[in-house]
Amino acid sequence: MFRFPQPFAHKHPPVKNVHEVFTKQSSFGERASDKVVAVAGSWPFILIQSGILACWVVLNVTAYIRHWDPYPFILMNLVLSLQAAYTAPVIMMSQNRQAARDRLEAHNDFETDVRAEEEIHLILDHLEAQDVALEEIHKCVIALQNAVAQAGSSK
């Protein structure tokens, strides 16, 4: 009589937490580069570094303490150049790691979308079968109403 599709069986793996998967796969160096970037790219770091550089300049210009780096501050330039020379590659490593994480997240989103689309199609098939069944039930109800009406009028 009525034919409904088979119930959907969830045979796909559960949704993954990409952050957990990526963190488990990361090495010590990769995690360290993320932490360095998090510190070096923060306002507290900039403010502390600016304070240290301002003190450096004031102490060397006023000669409050013996000049260890007289104007034009060659030693300070060297320290800042070394900091930049090491910070730039660490930032690049962190950005490369973030790009890899973004690719993994995009792939996971794609897999989830494919599974969702499959389930939506199955739900639509089931709804269509219900529409057909409801139409047949409606026809049967109308036929029964007509039969009852005819039986009632023939009395």
Using CA atoms, how far residue 75 sits from 53, 54, 60, 65, 71, in Å, is 12, 14, 11, 16, 10
| Mean pLDDT along residues 16-31 | 84
Domain positions in the chain are 18-113
pLDDT given at position 125: 87
pLDDT given at position 132: 86
Q: Name the average pLDDT for the chain.
A: 87
pLDDT given at position 83: 94
User: What is the pTM (predicted TM-score) of this model?
Assistant: 0.62
pLDDT given at position 13: 75
Six token digits for residue 100: 């890899």
DSSP string, 6-50: PPPP--SPPPP-HHHHHHHH--HHHHHHHHHHHHHTSHHHHHHHH
Q: Identify the weakest region by mean pLDDT among 63-67, 134-138, 141-145.
A: 63-67
